[in-house]
């Protein structure tokens, strides 16, 4: 914690004293790539709506972002002290191959214990996204390759520099899998009418596997499927995962997204013989983001419901139903020229989160099954430019195990202080 | 310029501080350690190397097993922590079902999957069923905290407690449960075997398990379907599979196994709360007066233990580790060891007041959770304990309340 306070102190000093410029302004080298079709954007555009730099006269544009932080957390009075974490380093490469034919890829190093919960063994380095887009018409685009399933808003719009919080939302990382990517194909399209925008996405991809109900978390845990990279060439169920999303946006109000993802998740046949019934997972998601006019208060929220067909003779520790989400409220309090930055912003923010990993009652007693979590996280951030954020967060969290017990080394009251940075480059 | 930056700084700090203060209000910024009176899980005083082993055991105890790490195919829970949340009692959702034995001649249904029913199974398997003709009982997992102290009680002390009951005016008798111990179990120092080679056992609702080593081996095997070097055969469904005759590759290695045995052995005892409260003291006096303490003995003393923190300690479990006839109301026509089907080990009462914390806010007491309050549990005591239960009913309302409050303080 001393480290975090020291970081805060250094930040204060940096604010107070005028720094000498020792860097070439890289923005002079910056030639942003063209956006795909129009000035209006929806969450579905997030993968292209990033700062890219065009490489000379080639058709390639590159970009990326990085995230790092130091955290001090304490659960039930037990702490591991200051933890320095280099969470992500991501590189994007985009190319306009021909008119209306584009390719984008994202290669990422990731080691985020807050979004992993022990399912993956250490750092991951892999292809997060690599897809070809062919536009036949603004209402009809074909996308194929390694894609991000468009469930909710966060999965497609998750870049660290966009948020005022060092941790990703718990419901979107430990209930829904974040950066949930799969090989597959699909269609998407957009339409604009005045201030209004409409979009759709419909994909068929590879999907989940039995690990979502057979994992070291001891609970229904969709992110467990991420640890199996065999999903990139073998579908556990042999059946597609369907993902669809409808988006409705208004320049003045914000964007509402309604999405669904579902399909058979289990390996129900072995050597051609049926060994189990087909069992499905269904996810329904509502996401909203918008800005209150005048106040410039930004609100991002997403809530999801998960329904999983569990074998009838399986332990109730694995839930049929889960529910969770988050709301971020971000208020700019100072905007303008700060130090040498003309477009700097200081924000205050708060995130509220709730996750119920086991929504239901015990058959044995009729009592409620808990396994839930509440968290609130105030934050303050400084953005010298819109692409770069320094953020200081405090988390207060309470958690119950399945019986409602909240006393324990792993499930007790938790608080954490974190300081981090994230930037596009 | 500097003035503006200074203002931003001050605002930055004030805003963050105010937010934290408003969120935490009267609480401190970071949670404090759990008061040992309100939680379990802590170790006795250990050396550094023992602390490291305890920590490893703690991680393994609360680890969730999967099919890849040995779970199943037939099981009751996915990890030790499922039945012993915070090292406490179990919840009815992980209740065990045992079947197939009615007397000391042993279990007659081992070829049909006895003694324990695999309530749950991995996808693709069919759960075990109780074979026709087998009697059965349901058992809620007992509290884990403090069990190392129970293991260190010398046989001589258990025998002495049984002997002292010969002339008990309330009709309390009780006896140690002698049972055959498996070949992988080494008798403890000071063990006093019977002439027929059976040893005094003390763990489990029937006190049919010899020590924590055996208890951990059985829990992994029967409760989670995990094989070890000590119990190398997986549970099976007799309707679909033959009795396994070839040992499985151990699904838990010896080091992991030993760390879990050490973890449970080195757990601290539950600590009584509000021990100086006048009503609690009044209740404790009434508890002794009506005869409850004849079986639920407050103080026991350990003998030698290789773990210094366990050796020669007087502690307060409120049990005599004997099995007592609890009458026909508690006779499930199933037993283990030498105990009769109506005989049950005196349940240690320590940690009783913490039961609601791990049983969903309610309590599920007696061996199968049939009692939904402490008062109901007392009233369900029959057989040797019938006199005490009747004496409780004769107490004034205030005295009954004080007894309940005393028990809740444990």
Q: Which of B76, B123, B354 to mutate to test the interface with A (most CBs of A within 10 A)?
A: B123
Return the pLDDT at A25.
Answer: 42
Return the pLDDT at A6.
Answer: 59
Task: Give the Cα separation of B7 and B11 in Å (integer).
Answer: 6
Q: What sign does the dihedral A374-A211-A287-A113 (CA atoms) show?
A: positive
Q: Which of A74, A77, A214 to mutate to test the interface with B (most CBs of B within 10 A)?
A: A214
Q: Chain B residues with CB inside 8 Å of A275's CB?
A: 124
For the residues A100-125, what does the mean pLDDT come to? 78
Task: Give the Cα separation of B221 and B240 in Å (integer).
Answer: 19
Identify the burial level of A364 via C-beta atoms within 10 angstroms of its C-beta, where 0-12 means exposed, 13-18 middle and 19 or more buried.
middle
Residue A32 banded pLDDT, cuts 50, 70, 90? very low
Return the pLDDT at A4.
Answer: 58
Return the pLDDT at A54.
Answer: 87
Q: What sign does the dihedral A166-A169-A170-A174 (CA atoms) show?
A: negative
For residue B21, pLDDT over 90 is answered with no
Contact B30 A338 (CB under 8 A): no
Residue A299 banded pLDDT, cuts 50, 70, 90? very high
Return the pLDDT at A114.
Answer: 66
Nearest to B120 among A78, A218, A313 (CB): A313
Return the pLDDT at B37.
Answer: 79
pLDDT in tens, A42-92: 889 898 889 998 888 888 999 999 999 999 999 988 888 999 999 999 999
- In A236-280, alpha helices (H): none
Contact A392 B19 (CB under 8 A): no
For residue B8, pLDDT over 50 is answered with yes
Return the pLDDT at B33.
Answer: 84
Return the pLDDT at A132.
Answer: 97
Q: What is the per-residue DSSP string for A264-275? A: E-S--EETTEE-
Return the pLDDT at B26.
Answer: 45
pLDDT in tens, A359-414: 999 999 999 999 999 999 999 999 999 999 999 999 999 999 999 998 876 678 99
Q: Least CA distance to A363: which residue of chain B? A: B93
pTM of the predicted structure, to 2 decimals: 0.91
Please name the residues in contact with B21: beta carbons below 8 A apart, sequence gap of 6 or more. none
Domains plus CATH for chain A?
2-18+39-424 (2.40.160.10)
Q: What is the per-residue DSSP string for B225-237? A: ----SSS-S----
For the residues A251-277, what does the mean pLDDT come to? 95
Q: Which of B57, B78, B371 to mutate to test the interface with A (most CBs of A within 10 A)?
A: B78
Percent of residues, chain B, with pLDDT higher than 90: 89
pLDDT in tens, A322-335: 999 999 999 999 99
pLDDT in tens, B314-357: 999 999 999 999 999 999 999 999 999 999 999 999 999 999 99
Question: Are B380 and B366 within 8 A, CB to CB?
Answer: yes
Nearest to A317 among B31, B78, B361 (CB): B78
Residue A3 banded pLDDT, cuts 50, 70, 90? low
For the residues A208-226, what does the mean pLDDT come to? 95
Q: Is A14 helix (H, G, I), strand (E, B) or coil?
A: helix
Rg (chain A; Cα; Å): 22
pLDDT in tens, A282-297: 999 999 999 999 999 9
Please name the residues in contact with A8: beta carbons below 8 A apart, sequence gap of 6 or more. A392, A419
Question: Are B84 and B90 within 8 A, CB to CB?
Answer: yes
For residue B223, pLDDT over 90 is answered with yes
Return the pLDDT at A19.
Answer: 42
Contact B361 A316 (CB under 8 A): no
Minimal CA separation from B121 to chain A, in Å = 6
Return the pLDDT at B256.
Answer: 97
ipTM beyond cut 0.95: no
Distance of alpha carbon B323 from the chain centroid: 16
Residue B269 banded pLDDT, cuts 50, 70, 90? very high
Contact A365 B362 (CB under 8 A): yes
Return the pLDDT at A33.
Answer: 43
């Amino acid at each position: 914690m001393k480290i975090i306070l020291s970081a805060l102190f250094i930040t204060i000093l940096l604010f107070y004293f005028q720094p000498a410029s020792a860097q070439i302004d890289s923005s002079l080298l910056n030639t942003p790539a063209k956006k795909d079709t129009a000035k209006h954007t929806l969450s579905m555009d997030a993968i292209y709506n990033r700062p890219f730099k065009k490489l000379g006269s080639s058709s390639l544009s590159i970009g990326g972002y990085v995230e790092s932080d130091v955290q001090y957390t304490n659960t039930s009075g037990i702490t591991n002290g200051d933890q320095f974490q280099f969470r992500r380093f991501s590189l994007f490469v985009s190319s306009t191959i021909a008119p209306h034919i584009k390719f984008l890829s994202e290669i990422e190093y990731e080691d985020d214990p807050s979004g992993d919960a022990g399912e993956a063994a250490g750092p991951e380095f892999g292809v997060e996204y690599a897809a070809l887009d062919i536009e036949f018409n603004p209402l009809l685009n074909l996308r194929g390759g390694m894609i991000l399933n468009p469930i909710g808003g966060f999965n497609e719009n998750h870049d660290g520099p966009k948020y005022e919080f060092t941790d990703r939302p718990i419901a979107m990382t430990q209930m829904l899998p974040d950066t949930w990517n799969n090989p597959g194909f699909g269609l998407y399209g957009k339409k604009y009418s005045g201030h209004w925008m409409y979009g759709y996405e419909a994909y068929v991809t590879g999907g989940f596997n039995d690990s979502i109900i057979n994992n070291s978390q001891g609970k229904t845990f969709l992110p467990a499927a991420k640890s199996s990279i065999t999903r990139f060439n073998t579908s556990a169920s042999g059946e597609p995962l369907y993902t669809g999303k409808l988006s409705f946006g208004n320049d003045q109000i914000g964007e509402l997204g309604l999405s669904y993802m579902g399909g058979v998740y289990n390996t129900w046949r072995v050597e051609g013989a049926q060994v189990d019934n087909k069992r499905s997972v269904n996810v329904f998601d509502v996401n909203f983001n918008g800005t209150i006019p005048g106040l410039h208060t930004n609100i991002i929220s997403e809530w999801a419901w998960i329904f999983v067909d569990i074998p009838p003779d399986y332990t109730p520790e694995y839930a049929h139903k889960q529910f969770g989400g988050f709301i971020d409220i971000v208020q700019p309090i100072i905007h303008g020229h700060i130090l040498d930055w003309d477009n700097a912003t200081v924000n205050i923010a708060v995130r509220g989160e709730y996750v119920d990993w086991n929504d239901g009652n015990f058959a044995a007693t009729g009592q409620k099954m808990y396994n839930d979590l509440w968290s609130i996280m105030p934050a303050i951030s400084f953005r010298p430019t819109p692409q770069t954020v320094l953020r200081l967060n405090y988390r207060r969290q309470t958690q119950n195990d399945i019986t409602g017990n909240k006393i324990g080394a792993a499930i007790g009251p938790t608080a954490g202080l974190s300081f981090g940075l994230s930037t596009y480059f | 310029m500097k003035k503006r930056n200074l203002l931003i700084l001050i605002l930055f700090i004030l805003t963050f501080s105010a937010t934290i203060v408003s969120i935490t209000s009267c609480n401190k910024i970071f949670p404090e350690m759990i008061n040992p009176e309100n939680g379990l899980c802590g170790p006795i005083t250990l050396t550094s190397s023992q602390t490291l082993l305890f920590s490893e055991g703690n991680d393994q105890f609360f680890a969730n097993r999967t099919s890849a790490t040995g779970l199943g195919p037939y099981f009751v829970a996915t990890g030790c922590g499922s039945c012993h949340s915070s090292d406490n009692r179990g919840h009815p959702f992980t209740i065990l079902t045992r079947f197939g034995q009615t007397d000391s001649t042993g279990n007659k249904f081992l070829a049909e999957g006895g003694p324990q029913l695999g309530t749950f199974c991995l996808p693709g398997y069919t759960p075990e069923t109780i074979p026709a003709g087998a009697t059965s009982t349901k058992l809620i997992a007992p509290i884990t905290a403090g069990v190392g102290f129970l293991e260190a009680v010398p046989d001589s002390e258990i025998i002495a407690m049984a002997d002292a009951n010969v002339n008990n005016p309330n009709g309390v008798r009780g006896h140690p449960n002698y049972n055959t111990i498996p070949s992988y179990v080494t008798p403890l120092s000071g063990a006093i075997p019977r002439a027929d080679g059976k040893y005094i056992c003390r763990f489990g609702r029937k006190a049919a398990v010899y020590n924590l080593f055996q208890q951990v081996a059985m829990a992994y095997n029967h409760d989670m379907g995990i094989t070890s070097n000590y119990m190398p055969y997986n549970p099976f469904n007799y309707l679909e599979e033959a009795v396994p005759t070839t040992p499985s590759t151990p699904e838990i290695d010896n080091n992991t196994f030993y760390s879990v045995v050490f973890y449970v052995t080195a757990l601290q005892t539950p600590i009584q709360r509000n021990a100086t409260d006048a009503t609690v003291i009044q209740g404790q006096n009434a508890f002794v007066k009506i005869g409850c303490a004849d079986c639920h003995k407050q103080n026991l003393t350990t003998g030698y233990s290789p773990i210094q923190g366990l050796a020669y300690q007087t502690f307060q479990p409120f049990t005599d580790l004997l099995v007592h006839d609890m009458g026909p109301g508690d006779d499930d026509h199933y037993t283990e060891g030498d105990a009769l089907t109506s005989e049950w080990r005196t349940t240690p009462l320590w940690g009783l007041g913490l039961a609601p914390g791990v049983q969903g806010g309610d309590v599920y007491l007696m061996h199968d959770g049939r009692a939904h309050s402490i008062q109901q549990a007392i009233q369900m005591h029959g057989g040797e304990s019938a006199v005490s239960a009747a004496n409780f009913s004769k107490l004034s309302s205030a005295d009954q309340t004080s007894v309940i409050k005393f028990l809740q303080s444990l």
